Structure 1
Amino acid sequence: MTEDKLIDLWSEDELDRALGALHDDVPTDPTRLEASRATFLAAIDRPVRRKRRSWAYALTAAAAVTTLVVGGFLVTTNSPGGTAEAKAELNSAADHVVAKDPVIPPGKYRYRVSHGWVWGFTETGPNEGVTYLEEQLTETWIPADRTQEWMQRSSNTGHRKLLQGTQQQLDMVAKLMDDNAPPVVLRARCGDFYLDKGQQPCTRAGGWQDPTPEWAAGLPSDPKALYKRLKKDAPRNSRGETELLVYAADALRTGQVPANVRSTLYRALGNLNHLEVSDRAVNLDGKVGIAYGSDDGKERQEIIIDPRTGDYIGERQVVTSGDKRGQVIGFSSVTSSIVDRIGERR
């Protein structure tokens, strides 16, 4: 496929069929600051003017279809497993993480597709508006030699699903948004798409939101020690230990966490006091996994792992209080493959 042709993900009919085929027993730029999270959740219940977001950096973006369709739209249920059960299943998933990640042959690229649905609100009149999920896509080409040029392409597909409001209001949003805008394409050595002024490429210190190889190599190899490191690095806020799961998801969704570190991280997450097995049959882009969740009293953060391979395959966020309880406000998945050249898709 050519570099300048955007992936055609789903038509409306195809999306409806995909949503309707989900498991029937049963998830930007998501902010990390407490005040912004409070504003985000409050916005579900009161009109605010929506600002266009991009997952390009915070998510290195997303994809997926996960949830139950009831009465026409998204709902999810929770099947608490308890910490002991969740820990045991995470340990089992960790056992399936291979010791070595797939090697990118010299001259080739790892093509990573992150595809997701994010919550949006648009004011359509005085004290009224429409709430919806909006599909976004980020593609990244990573060279075998990480110090060479990477490419990232981010776009909105124009697909939206109504959460609250009328179809007429949602149609108005489509007219207001520039859905035909070209994708944002960034190129940079070492994937340094967002360097600070004066900063040199390939010198990033790394962190949970930007797990460079050097940073990952410095993490503790003992699960309990890694849990303490995660707890130390995550900011104190009203989300409590849920924020630790958010930080783990930040790292995992980039696809840059080595297999041995992923294995240790899964075991480390088993130390969360309120970790739950929240769903045993989440379907993300054709991949079935287990969702592990932590609830802060307002929102449940979930990471989703393929128990057969130990692969992280996505995440979701679900409202857990108020009259919007059970409403999915974000979900995503990630896939990757090896391609011959930058811009090629497979």
Structure 2
Amino acid sequence: MREDNVRKIWSDAELDAALSDLHDDVDEEDGLAFARASLMAAAGTPEAPPQPRRRGTWRWIAVAAAVVTLVGGLGIVVSLRPPAPEPARPGASLAYLDRPLAPGEFHYAQKLTWVPETVLGKQVNVQRKVELWIPADPKGTWHRRTMWTGAIDGLPPAEHAEVNRAPKDEYGPAGVFPGEPRMTGMTQPGWNTPLKNWLSPDADLVTSLVPDRAKLTKRLLFDTIDVTDDGRAHSATEALTMVRMVLELGLAPRPVREALRDALSGIDMAFAVPGQTPDGRPATVVGVKDTGQHLYLDPATAQLLAWDFPPGTPATTPTRPDVPLTVPVAPPTPVGPPTATTKNEVPFAPQLPPAPATLYSFAITGTSG
């Protein structure tokens, strides 16, 4: 975490006001210096906090800790240039995210992805942000927010297009959102299992996953995930999509995440190697050879960090065109297409600029947006 990242959350004026309100019996100059230094030290800078000369030290420590906790409990987003992409960074220790939630707390997940669009007559990628809040009891109501960020990749610098950034909020009991087909349990002749909603996972799907690599491998290969399934084994890319959809929620516990990682990497045409995310973080890279897609997982916790695929990869699996490979969180017009654009349902084409990687961040929050 850099100092400039922290100041995206707390400006100097906001910090001064908050500290002044919380404590009025410490020398202002000494107290503010101590609190700021404490915050910088907690954020990873080498500066050590000075010792305040007056009483009330414990309250200043509490204030500094509260600031750090706030930063750690939010997905920090840094804007590069307007309208700029939002590189996602985990807002807290990934191991910390596996602690039990208290009533009133939420699992928070953020996904920054790129969608092919036609803007001002040009094929470009437009960035979409999807945020998800899952309550401590996953059987409660989930809150999902979808919006365009305003970032456009592939548009010449001299051209500018205004993007509609109005958010679309949706609420779904136990993760079942309005408008999404729910055919879980449906059966047809030739299917290996009743239909399982891996492609739009909810609380029940996540609860059904056990931390057993062999059992998960079998499920990734043979669970019915689409009405066109004919009983054959799934491709490596289909299995990767199933795993990605679950990990994007930020709800699966660590043993399940690790078992999913191991189950996926053991499937034919898939592999797992040490590496780095597209933005340089250490990662376990789980890839598939049939489409060249990669998932980047945190080596210690198996949390999902990023996902990417080669330019020209179609939006659906080549061998199973009816199995979506994009997160089914946004209907064709959830927040409206960017202003001055024409909706383009054509998959990525060779002339389209390579889409930056999809990035994920997770946190524990006390609010649902």
What is the TM-score when the length of structure 2 is the normalising length? 0.54
Tell me the distance in 2 between the aligned counterparts of 1:295 and 1:239: 14
Letter of the 1:161 partner, please give it. D
**Structure 2 match to 1:137:** 129
2:357 is the counterpart of 1:331: yes
Distance 1:136 1:268, change over 3 A: same
Q: Which runs of 5+ in 1 are unaligned?
A: 2-6, 19-62, 66-96, 200-204
Task: Give the corresponding residue for 1:105.
Answer: 102
Deviation at 1:227, TM superposition (A): 1.2
- Match of residue 117 from structure 2: 121
SS in 1 for 2:310: strand
Q: Give the Cα–Cα distance (whole angstroms) in 2 for the partners of residues 314 and 156 of structure 1.
A: 19
1:216 is matched with: 206
Structure 2 residue 176 is the aligned partner of structure 1 residue 192: yes
CA contact (8 A) 2:254 2:301 kept: no
Q: 2:79 is matched with which residue? A: 10
Equivalent of 1:256 in 251, 267, 272:
251
Contact 1:318 1:327 in 2 (8 A): no
Task: Indicate the structure (1 or 2) with the bigger Cα radius of gyration.
Answer: 2
Deviation track 1:223-266 (CA, whole Å, cap 9, x = no partner) reads: 22321221113547999322211221122112232322212111
SS of equivalent to 1:333:
strand
Residues 84-130 of structure 1, C-alpha deviations (whole Å, 9 max, x = no match): xxxxxxxxxxxxx97x93211112222322222x1413175xxxx42
Percent identity between matched residues is 22
Structure 2, unaligned runs of 5 or more: 1-8, 10-75, 184-194, 314-348
Letter in 2 for 1:182: A
Note the 1:1-346 alignment, pairs <5 A.
Answer: 9-12=78-81, 64=88, 101-116=98-113, 118-122=114-118, 129-162=121-154, 166-167=156-157, 171=160, 174-175=161-162, 179-194=163-178, 207-219=197-209, 221-233=211-223, 235=229, 240-277=235-272, 280-284=275-279, 287-296=281-290, 299-319=291-311, 324=350, 328-329=354-355, 331-343=357-369
Counting strand residues as a fraction of each chain, which structure ranks higher?
1
What number of residue pairs does the alignment pair up?
241
- 8 A Cα contact 1:119 1:131, kept in partner: no
CA RMSD of aligned residues (A): 4.1
Structure 1 SS opposite 2:98 = coil
Q: Which has the higher contact order (CA 8 A, sep 6+)?
A: 1
Kept in 2: contact 1:316–1:328 (CA 8 A): no
Q: Look up the match of 1:78.
A: none
CA contact (8 A) 1:210 1:254 kept: no
Aligned to 2:296, the other structure's residue is in SS state: strand
Secondary structure, counterpart of 1:329 in structure 2:
coil
1:114–1:333 Cα contact (<8 Å) kept: yes
Q: What SS does structure 2 have at the residue aligned with 1:318?
A: coil
- Worse-superposed segment, 210-219 or 221-230: 210-219
SS in 1 for 2:103: coil
Cα pair distance change 1:341/1:290, threshold 3 Å: same
